[in-house]
Structure 1
Amino acid sequence: MSDTQAAIFSALGIAFCFSLNLIPIKSLLRAKKTKDLKEISQLYLLVSAFNYASWLSYAIKMNQTGNWINNSICLILDLSWVIFYHVIKSDWKSFVPIFIILLGCIEVALFMLFPAYVIGFFAIACAISLYAAPIEQLGYVFKLKDHKYIDVLITSALIVTAGSWLLYGVAVKDWIIIGPNIAGIAFAIFQEIVYFWARGVIPCPIFTCLQNKMAKKPLITSEEKSEEIQKDLV
């Protein structure tokens, strides 16, 4: 593919990725009113920060202008949502500074000490983890058969965004970009299938069987897990 096609796919990827990172606003504003964070995957927000920071480092190393512009913007947005999440949770003063320092130290060390391909493999791991992170919410979906724990806007935006960056990766012949975006499309499609099953739009005997088994078990929230861990440490 030509440089023009690469530039077009890069521009589309930036636009879709920017749109993707605006989607959590609605859920965060709702959580601010209700003080209920169960509909928001904290894991998704944290892994997302590592994902964008790692791809930023890789893009700078590889001199991929469109890629580093995209990841710079998305990193700033994602860190804003992390801060907002922990403001709602009332622990931002103790959590956010440590998280940002840890993120910065890891990324600077990677950039200074390792070649581009090592940073690329780390970025791939972060990207696949990012696409898989919303699966954390599937426990609620299967337990309650409630689709609200899957944000279908995010999964749809992930498919479009990953598709754009997949085409960009093909255009620049970079398998480090191609690989995780194929995985991202697969994870997002799986979550959409679960979403429409939970809404009763499509049948799936496997999901129904899983839901029947999980309905017999008590639902443990993320907050309860955190409390248990803190008790064990004490």
Structure 2
Amino acid sequence: MALITAAHLAFTFGILGNVVSFMVYMAPVPTFYKIYKRKSSEGFHSIPYSVALFSAMLYLYYAYLKKNVILLITINSFGCVMEVGFLIIFLVYATYESKIYTAKILFLFNIVAMGLVVGCTYSLSKGQKRVTIVGWICSVFSLCVFVAPLSIMRRVIKTKSVEYMPLTLSLFLTLSAAIWFFYGLFIKDFYIAAPNVVGFLFGMVQIILYLIYKDKKQQNILP
């Protein structure tokens, strides 16, 4: 009987991670369909999608440097496509102020910051040192992706309404974080495993908030 090795487990969790992450990236589809139908971005924010796009781009760069991590390349390529699509829909139906703010965020993160990361790491480091530096940067911005929904969680607590925090997305984010943690653990990659511990904790908090406020009516509270 063949032995189950760490490599086998890593591949299994990598495949599961791709499947669940696919669902995570697809989870906002109903939200953006609602935006399309109402022709308005209403109370939704573009920050989580902007940060998620930047994170996916960073991990694509990390996978390119590290090599032999095709499972990271496949899901983050798909993530980039989905986040760009969501942001385009948001920009079409957002208010003028939201469009300007989102454009500034995209320019700052996806052009300036990404350009600096690639330029500086290629000019100031090489080999394993470059991989390590990019790995740390990926970890930091993965945390940003998990922390980004804090504004939505604050809105849920303030309005006592879960309208802008879909349960499906919270569930898939929590499950995805758990699976990618084990993937990183089995391939012995700290930069993949560590941020997902925080992601799992934030996901659990979102689920708890949903259970607390799911049956309560929204209250009109002035900011």
> TM-score with structure 1 length normalisation?
0.78
Number of aligned positions between the proteins: 207
Residue identity over aligned pairs, in percent, reads 20
Structure 1 residue 111 displacement after superposition = 3.0
CA distance in 1, matches of 2:43, 2:99: 23
Partner of 1:18: 22
| 1:42 matches 2:46 | yes
Partner of 2:114: 107
Partner of 1:226: none
CA distance in 2, matches of 1:145, 1:118: 41
Q: Say which of 47, 56, 72 aligns to 1:67.
A: 72
CA distance in 1, matches of 2:159, 2:195: 31
Structure 1 residue 66 displacement after superposition = 1.2
1:150 to 1:58, Cα distance in 2 relative to 1, 3 A: same
1:41 to 1:129, Cα distance in 2 relative to 1, 3 A: same
Alignment of 1:155-174 (within 5 A): 155-174=170-189
CA distance in 2, matches of 1:5, 1:136: 36
CA distance in 1, matches of 2:173, 2:43: 18
Consecutive unaligned residues in structure 2, runs of 5 or more:
122-129
| 1:186 matches 2:201 | yes
- The alignment's C-alpha RMSD in Å is 2.7
| 1:119 matches 2:134 | yes
| 1:86 matches 2:91 | yes
**Residue identity in the other structure for 2:114:** E
Report if the CA contact (8 A) 2:41-2:95 is conserved. Answer: no
Q: Say which of 148, 160, 170 aligns to 1:133.
A: 148
Q: Which runs of 4+ in 1 moved over 4 A?
A: 90-98
Structure 1 residue 38 displacement after superposition = 4.0
Structure 1 residue 126 displacement after superposition = 1.2
> TM-score with structure 2 length normalisation?
0.82
> What is the CA deviation profile of residues 154-185 of structure 1, one whole-angstrom value per residue up to 9, with x for unaligned ones?
11000111111111101100111111000000
Structure 1 residue 138 displacement after superposition = 2.4
